[in-house]
Amino acid sequence: DTGVSQNPRHKITKRGQNVTFRCDPISEHNRLYWYRQTLGQGPEFLTYFQNEAQLEKSRLLSDRFSAERPKGSFSTLEIQRTEQGDSAMYLCASSPPWRDRVTYEQYFGPGTRLTVT
């Protein structure tokens, strides 16, 4: 399978705990995005990496959230001191290098569903 992969697929944690999610993009995709989706809403942008550089962060990304993409390959998203409001589906998407409009397409992984109790 050469698609975007995410782990874990499900995570249940208690309020106040830290959690970390991993995303492995499609091979050779240098652009990687994190989104969050709550029930009944479309995904909302969190942050963007081009290679290993984090170039864009949404206002949704509070200081409890941190993301990394060492070596420009996989990425991790960590949430510290989780709150019940963090319960959502966390989605990763990747996209190939920009050359023309076709490369603006983003392909999503299966997501990590986080439940904070």
Partner 1 sequence: QKEVEQNSGPLSVPEGAIASLNCTYSDRVSQSFFWYRQYSGKSPELIMSIYSNGDKEDGRFTAQLNKASQYVSLLIRDSQPSDSATYLCAVNSGSARQLTFGSGTQLTVLP
CA dihedral 86, 90, 94, 98 (to 10 degrees): -30
| Structural contact between residues 44 and 36, judged by C-beta atoms closer than 8 angstroms | yes
Footprint of partner 1 on residues 51-90 (CB under 8 A)? Answer: 55-56, 89
Interface with partner 1 (CB under 8 A), residue from 44, 66, 72, 87: 44
Q: 18 or 104: whose CB is closer to partner 1?
A: 104
Q: Closest Cα partner for 85 from 34, 20, 23, 36?
A: 36
Identity at 85, one-letter amino acid code: G
* Residue 19: both structure tokens together: 């959690």
Q: 17 or 66: whose CB is closer to partner 1?
A: 66
Interface with partner 1 (CB under 8 A), residue from 11, 43, 61, 82: 43
Binding site for partner 1 (CB under 8 A): 33, 35, 40-45, 48, 50, 55-56, 89, 91, 93, 95, 98, 101-102, 104-111
